[in-house]
Amino acid sequence: MDTIEDLTEKAWQAVDPAELLELTARMVDIPSPSGEEAELAGFLGEFMNAQGLEGDVQAIQPGQANAVGRYAGAGSGTHLMLYAPIDTAFAGRAEEDSPWIDLEARPDQVAKATVRDGVVQGLGAHNPKGHGACALMAAVALARAQIPLSGHLTVALCAGGMPTNGRPGRPEARRIGHGVGCAHLLEQGGRPDCAVVAKPGGVSYEEVGVSWFRVRVKGVLGYAGTRHVVKHRNPILDAAKVVEELEAWFKDYTHANTSGLVAPQGSIGCIRAGWPNKPTFIPEACDILIDLRVSPRTDIADVRRQFQGGIEAIAERHPDMVLEWDMLLGVPGSHTDPDHPVIRSTIRGWEYATGEAYSPQTGGSGATEANVLRQWGVPTARVGMTPPPRKLDFSGQFSMGEAHVESMKALTRTLIYTALDLCHPDGTKVQEDEG
């Protein structure tokens, strides 16, 4: 009788590692910023059908769609979903990203792939598209090898995974991110027994949520020509002090909320004030936009109270300032029991593919649609590519745009093993373990 390891190798032999790079490159070459994923989803749906999966393109709203493929089994065992988003955090276009990203100096942020020395480079090549390619090729490998499953295997490559609201030129109220594609999939009857999210990092069973806040620093409407003779208070200058105060408070917040695998961070990502076309005039207000990560053991309401306490302490130290604040977004963190079969199987798969003993990574502050899946009651593991075997062009910087074939091979084999361990007749059965 073949073991899970034997079957993993049989499936892996059905995949050429060059296909991982080629598929990732083709995905990079189809721009898919949040809200504009339909073209990429269409390509992926066709690819799935051509590779032996039951592929489908699931429309969400104009311009936005998921690609969903299924390798059907007998239906008596576990239904596992391999999940990855397909949208990129940035557009890769000067009219939207410049000057905040120097696209000429950052080929890893442009939606045009280059493949060289086993590395694919381009916008989203590592996260999320390289991870999505690994999830898809794991399912394709099982279909090509024609390994029978007792349960079903779904690969879901979904839109709207990035932490974003409406983009420039679009209504701000338009819901295009924060897991909108994942939620749509689940709502439309796509709920599995358990899931594995392919996103950066080692095997994890919990992650932070996301909250956004706006602090408005008030001032007095003014004019450069009269600031010396009329009432004057520039809110931009006061906002600079608030920024420094918040940066110091973030450390206290992280310390107070660190536990398990997470160390929730805070960050200031945007400051808005005044009129770029007429800087002569001093605005009445300056807004500071903040992302504050949420522990799975901290309620959103408690995060709000903690932030309120931080702002009140700043106001007490600067009684001459006028500060207003509001919460703009709240997505809870989430947790899956580390003894659940999907976690144990993913760990076994990771250990098999890497040859290393598993050790939980702590200090995490990244969020994914694992939060959406867990909110729907789906036990979920998260696993990503291993570190590249050598330093890449943008190693040590925030990139998401470089993927090494060796890292992709390890993740794909991890996912194949995990799928077999959960869905093969001789593997783990989630329903029996839970019952």
Write out the CATH class of domain 209-331.
alpha beta
Other residues' Cβ atoms within 10 Å of the Cβ of residue 215:
23
The helix/strand/coil state of 407 is helix
pLDDT of residue 1: 73
Is 109's pLDDT higher than 50? yes
What is the predicted pLDDT for the residue at 435? Answer: 41
Round to the nearest angstrom and report the end-to-end CA distance of the chain. Answer: 27
Q: Which two tokens stand for residue 68?
A: 């969903």
For residue 174, the model assigns a pLDDT of 75
pLDDT (0 to 100) of residue 433: 47
Burial 150-186 (b: 16+ CB within 10 A, else e): bbbbbbbbbbbbbbbbebeeeeeeebbbbbbbbbbbb
Domain pair 4-207+334-434 / 209-331, same fold: no
Alpha-carbon distances, residue 180 vs 86, 89, 189, 372 (angstroms) = 12, 14, 15, 9
DSSP letter at 262?
Answer: B
Quick one: pLDDT at residue 432? 45
Beta bridge partners of 382: 197, 204
Nearest 5°: phi and psi at 26?
-65, -35
**pLDDT recorded at residue 167:** 82
Average confidence (pLDDT) over 98-106? 96
* Residue 365 pLDDT grade (very low, low, confident, very high; cuts 50, 70, 90): very high
Closest CA to 423 of 347, 341, 367: 341
Report whether pLDDT(159) > 90. yes
For residues 2, 6, 8 and 11, what is the CA-based torsion angle, rounded to 10 degrees?
-80
- From CA 421, how far away is CA 416, in angstroms rounded? 9
CB 138 within 8 Å of CB 81:
no
Identify the band that residue 80 occupies on the pLDDT scale cut at 50, 70 and 90.
Answer: very high
Residue 162 pLDDT grade (very low, low, confident, very high; cuts 50, 70, 90): very high
What tens digit of pLDDT does each residue of 250-292 get?
A: 999 999 999 999 999 999 999 999 999 999 999 999 999 999 9
Q: Which residues pair with 292 in a beta bridge?
A: 211, 266
User: With bands split at pLDDT 50, 70 and 90, how would you rate the model's confidence at 434?
Assistant: very low
pLDDT (mean) for 33-53: 97
Q: How confident is the model at residue 428 (pLDDT cuts 50, 70, 90)?
A: low
Report the distance separating Cα 275 and Cα 217, nearest Å: 16
User: From CA 130, how far away is CA 384, in angstroms rounded?
Assistant: 10
Task: Answer yes or no: are the C-beta atoms of 123 and 109 closer than 8 Å.
Answer: yes
pLDDT in tens, 257-267: 999 999 999 99
| Boundaries of every domain in the chain | 4-207+334-434, 209-331
* Per-chain mean pLDDT for the chain: 95
The CATH number given to 4-207+334-434 is 3.40.630.10
User: How far lies 394's CA from each of 106, 120, 173, 267, in Å?
Assistant: 9, 12, 34, 22
- Tell me the pLDDT band of 426, cut-offs 50, 70 and 90: confident
Q: What is the mean pLDDT of residues 428-433?
A: 55
Cα(435)–Cα(418) distance, integer angstroms? 20
pTM for the whole structure: 0.95
Percent of the chain with pLDDT over 90: 95
Taking the C-alpha atoms of residue 107 and residue 105, their distance in angstroms, rounded to an integer, is: 6
Strand partners, 56: 68
What are the distances in angstroms from CA 37 to CA 16, 121, 361, 397? 27, 20, 32, 26
Model confidence band, residue 425 (pLDDT cutoffs 50, 70, 90): confident
Residue 170 has a pLDDT of: 63
* Locus of tokens 């079957």: 7
Distance CA 249, CA 413 (A): 42
Contacts of 229 (CB under 8 A, 6+ apart): none
Question: Binning pLDDT at 50, 70 and 90, where does residue 233 land?
Answer: very high
The pLDDT value given to residue 140: 98
H or E element at residue 266: strand 266-272
Q: What is the pLDDT of residues 166-205, one digit of tens each?
A: 887 665 557 899 999 999 999 999 999 999 999 999 999 9
